Structure 1
């Protein structure tokens, strides 16, 4: 097997320079426009068409003084005698893309010049375009494609090719699930950094719901559950793995597909076994990754609720007073950090002087085991009694705090009471007049996905206000679950 080439033995050394220059955003936009037009053609783009694409972009940016200045500086550094017309500037950009390896020129038999994107530029632009558009592939598509590839009739005759494509689909599935897990983690960090309760709610009910819950997580746990095809995929891989004749035939096909001398039979067999191991282990260990995604989704829900409670807490009990103190100290530190002073006032410096200290002494030595000694009970003294009035007061305070907790059962009863005999209501019909009503709406939306409540939530409808504009929220639909 041939050794792997160095990256810059394939890609020109200055390939990424245009995306690291002061005009990186503009070069990227021009490249994406060329890429989208290039996908519509079969034989590349003529030089005139390409110049028109670049000129259109330059004319759109003509009023941008910073762009014009940076482009002029770039032209001045590399080509002193170039004209200043849009066509001259477009020719400069075109030559820059050619010098860095993004495009190549080709002259046909009719002497007409065509320009093509290089093969690696096409792959990189395709990937970057998906990243900027936040493209998410369907996980079920990967699983179904893997299952189809392994069970098609051609798999027995073209085993190496079927296995290679199944391997690619499995790799894409694994990378997609890892990306989903990372995206949830990114939302956890965003909600923890957010200070405005309104922004937290918008992040939770619009951004997170659209990008994570609806697009990925909910399908992953319901109709697109990967466990649907997993047993059959693992069974087919095990069948092939233990079939020596199939492995040998697939290895021969793999060698025939490669250039002469690129791969030996033994190397092909090792490659095939490695791909089967990867597919099998991925599907067998997939539950661990799915559990991590579940854990992070629950962690995000908890983080968003705690952040909202923290930001909306205005009570004067001990918890509220501590929160007010911490908010004041955080604001004080932020203001002082902006002035270059990271220290708290002297009167407060002692509040946070706690630290952990460890040291070794004679008590740090290991104590060997000893035979059990007979227990000598201590003398029982008369228990200290608590005044009944104090006890009753403490019990009443505890019951009051428990009554304030918005549990799932309380929210379920609250929603059923609001529904009455109806099958559905809108959020604006709940009567949001005070902070307590607003918090109940939040918990109603959060508990709406639970199977242990008698209603479900549909996130449709515009944003509305209540209490003369004091509260703003999405006018969600709350619908009674069927059969309950």
Structure 2
């Protein structure tokens, strides 16, 4: 299964499905479909028989302005070749409305939104086609301006990937987690774009302080603040993100779960076993990439949200103070000039200087630029004692050369000596002994340290200090 292939929509749904929602009678057709959807899917179990469906359509038709304003277009529906032949003319307004309602219902049925199936105990019952029910569900939520619950997506993904949940149904959990991940990122991207739309609407359309408050508090709160800010505070998205990424790491290292998920994919999606395994890996990779790039989206949302707040505040201040402050007047002129709505303005600009006695304007004066001055070096001769003291402090007493000088003094004319001969009077002696052992073990100097045999004491102790036992032996330098 490749996500890059464009799905064939009209291989699944009738080509004329959206025809009723694209013409001049679209609002009437939509009212009928939305009401049928509410009866079918948003109430207690209820069978909508054909006479009741026709009566609902008639009520909506009578309540619509179209019935009075576009009656001729309604009457022309009988010329549509997809409809049954028109009924005999009936007398009276009620009969005409009932005839038009039947034609509206018939067109919706003919274009593929629903059909009527016969049931022995009820008669003709309205039944939505699967594609129509899903499309209507989306359209109803859009019409209601329902906002997604971001923390609900994050909670569902984290729950599906929990070890106990995932272990029982790896395939189902992974597929559903992938779906929720794509929906979460999609809705965040939509929110990101919508904030820009809110900002532009505030700049271009709102002309009163009350409008700024309504747009910035009421509308914006419903679309952004109430939901997204909760995800940034109480239900912090980054906490969910870390847990989910850790679970994805664990799943990728679990071959048993991967194999079980691949078997489910093969059965559910009708794939070969190799293709199912690849699809499992692709879904895991897709989820990882979506969550790893999530901070970029949220940072962009934060920046746009801050810009909206700043625009709303400046617009409100401008509208409230534009009659009393020069700043407001200038902003008013700039706004009108930007929209090409301001009249032609002709004025001259003169140097603001000595307009009247006692004028407080002072022309700016240029200060002389400071010339660079070279720094003169200070020389101070050091005494020999000071030089020697600095040299001792700069030399590392535990460097290899210093240690080898010490070994030469310790061994004298001999070739070896035990570690017991090394002085251990203070901390400096102890640190030097440690470096002596370290340099003597790497074999790169003029001596080597041979540790004591297992039968001999392993440590040499002098007072509070203790070092490894062994012998120091002179060797030749490596050339």
Indicate the TM-score class for this superposition, using the shorter chain for normalisation. 0.5 to 0.7
For 1:270 and 1:73, locate their aligned partners in 2 and report how far apart those are by CA, in whole Å.
Answer: 55
Change (3 A) 1:171 1:390: same
Q: Deviations over 1:434-456 (max 9, x none)?
A: xxxxxxxxxxxxxxxxxxxxxxx
Q: Cα distance, 1:328 vs. partner?
A: 6.1
Mark the CA change 1:116 to 1:328 in structure 2 (over 3 Å): closer, same or farther.
closer
1:247 equivalent in structure 2: 258
* Counterparts of 1:279 and 1:349, CA distance in 2: 62
- Alignment match, 1:48: 51
Task: Give the one of 307, 314, 327 matched to 1:306.
Answer: 314
Q: Aligned partners of 1:50, 1:74: CA distance in 2, in Å?
A: 19
Partner of 1:233: 244
Identify if the C-alpha distance between structure 1 residues 44 and 110 changes in structure 2 by more than 3 Å, giving closer, same or farther.
Answer: closer
2:383: which partner in 1?
none
Unaligned runs of 5+ in 2: 350-358, 366-479
Q: Could you say if the C-alpha distance between residues 328 and 147 of structure 1 is closer, same or farther in structure 2, counting changes exceeding 3 Å?
A: closer
For 1:229 and 1:221, the matched residues in 2 are separated by: 11
| Distance across 1 between alignment mates of 2:129 and 2:39 | 14
Separation in 2 of the partners of 1:64 and 1:393? 75
C-alpha change, 1:35 and 1:389, in structure 2 (3 Å) is: closer
Contact kept in structure 1, 2:28 and 2:66, CA below 8 Å: no
In structure 1, what is the Cα distance between the partners aligned to 2:131 and 2:198?
33
Matches within 5 A, 1:32-43: 32-39=34-41, 40=43
3-state SS, counterpart of residue 223 of structure 1: coil
* TM-score, structure 1 as length reference: 0.64
| Equivalence for 2:8 | 6
Shift of 1:152: 5.4
Which residue pairs with 1:367 in the alignment? none
* Alignment of 1:198 onto 2:210: yes
Question: Aligned residue for 1:278?
Answer: 286
Instruction: Summarize deviations over 1:152-182 as a string: whole Å, max 9, x none.
Output: 5242132111101111111111112112112
| Local SS of the residue matching 1:229 | helix
For 1:282 and 1:98, the matched residues in 2 are separated by 41
Per-residue displacement from partner, 1:294-313 (whole Å, max 9, x unpaired)? 00001101112222344433
Structure ID, larger Rg: 2
**Whole-angstrom CA distance in 2 between matches of 1:350 and 1:65:** 60
Gaps of 5+ in 1: 336-343, 352-387, 395-484
User: How many residues are treated as equivalent by the alignment?
Assistant: 344
Give the whole-Å Cα distance in 1 for the aligned partners of 2:187 and 2:58.
Answer: 38
Q: Check whether the contact 2:202–2:215 (CA below 8 A) recurs between aligned residues.
A: yes
* Alpha carbons 1:62, 1:68 under 8 Å: kept: no
**TM-score of the pair, normalised by structure 2:** 0.65
How far apart, CA to CA, are the structure 1 residues paired with 2:217 and 2:264?
52
Equivalence for 1:360? none
Give the Å deviation of 1:76. Answer: 4.8
